Amino acid sequence: MDRPTLPLVDLRRQYASIKTEIDEKISGVLKSTAFILGSEVKEFEKEFAAFCSVGLSVGVNSGTDALSLALLALGVGEGDEVITSPNTFIATAAAISHVGARPVLVDVDPESYNIDVSQIEKGITGKTRAIIPVHLYGQPSEMDATLQIAKNHNMKVVEDACQAHGGEYRGRRVGSLGDISAFSFYPGKNLGAYGDGGAVVTDKNELAGRIRLLRDHGSPKKYYHDVIGYNSRLDEIQAAVLRVKLRYLNVWNEKRRRNARLYSEYLKDLVDKGLVSTPKEKNWAKHVYHLFVIQVDERLRDKLIEHLNARGIGAQIHYPIPIHLQKAYKHLGYTEGSFPVSERLVKRIISLPMFPELEQQEIEHIAQEIRAFFKQMPPSQNHR
């Protein structure tokens, strides 16, 4: 497909709307030549912590490192097990592997696509040290039950908030609920940098202090190294960009929510006929729609994506293969059938274009194209 007219995410429109501010900020960093751990990172960390309603935030180089450094700071490592879900981006599991621990998977809830809390206890063994609930697609995972289970079993909770900046669980911001949380600022995220970036947020001084050491070669002072660390710093240019964008994030999230409502409205007839299902916001959740994911019959899913792509609409799948069926995770020993809910979902899901600047008539047009697809299908193929 050539560049779609309606891509899944259109970062050009967003840049056009904030170009003057962004260009000025980037040029300010260039003029200062302070590229590493300067005032932009420091200020961004304070502002992002306030945004998440937590005490402390530490900028790192990606969401993946945010997760692995969070686990390391909690002391999770070789021989330990960490519970998470199979329907997530590979980085959630990879971060667990990077610290030497083993990912233990628990299936997801069919409505929220997040970890099924009623099954978490099945995954707990004597080696389980932490749970990573993923707030997938921007919908907060069920945190009260997760935190209670963690407390009962003396385990830590690391929120994977990489897709949910600004999401709320029972009125509280994601990132402020577990022991420590990871965010990604990959460009397409709700808060995206112009390159890679991430942050760890926590209320615990000791954990934030460890992350600060780990992200910068274990060094509390230049050329003094207390532990063996990493080079995982958020850079000044990215922090400067993020500071500009953070000021718009609440408004952008509201626009995403409006767009989600419009999609649900325009697709309602197809939902009523059982041809499409739209995302369900849990009653505890303020969903921030990083992605707008619908479901259709698995026999029609790929054809519908082709139909949309052929018409310049950037529909995709997040994610086509669950973690346990990825080649990289064969060694965990799971098989087809291990996680039936995730396995069914990945065959049925489609992410439709979603970004704040998407316009009402564009959403209406996408819905029309989906309707046209079902109209041209022989009735026998219009299955529930």
Ligand X SMILES: Cc1ncc(COP(=O)(O)O)c(C=O)c1O
Binding region for ligand X (CB under 6 A): 62-64, 88-89, 91-92, 134, 160, 162-163, 184, 186, 196, 198
Shortest Å distance, C-beta 62 to ligand X: 3
Q: Closest Cα to residue 69, out of 183, 174, 226, 214?
A: 214
Residue nearest to ligand X (CB): 63
Q: Which is nearer to ligand X, 262 or 350 (CB)?
A: 350
- Least spacing, CB of residue 271 vs ligand X, in Å: 26
Q: Tokens representing 20? A: 């003057």
What is the SS3 assignment for 185? coil
Nearer to ligand X, 198 or 356 (CB): 198
Closest CA to 69 of 257, 226, 280, 211: 211
Cβ 318 to ligand X shortest distance, Å: 8
Q: How far is the CB of 359 from ligand X (least distance, A)?
A: 26
Q: Which residues have C-beta within 8 Å of that of residue 210, sequence separation ≥ 6?
A: 72, 73
The three state secondary structure string of 259-277 is HHHHHHHHCHHHHHCCCEE
Cβ–Cβ under 8 Å, residues 88 and 160: yes
Which residue's CB is nearer to ligand X, number 102 or number 303? 102
Structure tokens at 299: 């026999």
Residue that is written with structure tokens 């999770």 in the block: 76
How many Cβ atoms are within 10 Å of 315's Cβ, its own excluded? Answer: 23
* 92 vs 342, beta carbon nearer ligand X: 92
Nearer to ligand X, 192 or 373 (CB): 192
Q: How far apart are CA 379 and CA 384, in angstroms?
A: 11
Q: How far is the CB of 90 from ligand X (least distance, A)?
A: 8
How many H-runs (helices) and E-runs (strands) does the chain carry?
Answer: 12, 13
Half-sphere exposure (Cβ direction) of 247: Cα atoms closer than 13 Å:
9
What does the block give as tokens for 258?
Answer: 């409006």
Radius of gyration of the chain (CA): 21
**Two tokens at 46?**
């304070």
Minimum separation from the CB atom of position 38 to ligand X (A): 21
The least distance separating ligand X from the CB of residue 191, rounded to whole angstroms, comes to 11
Which C-beta is closer to ligand X: that of 267 or that of 325?
A: 325
In the complex, least distance from residue 280 CB atom to ligand X, rounded to whole angstroms: 19
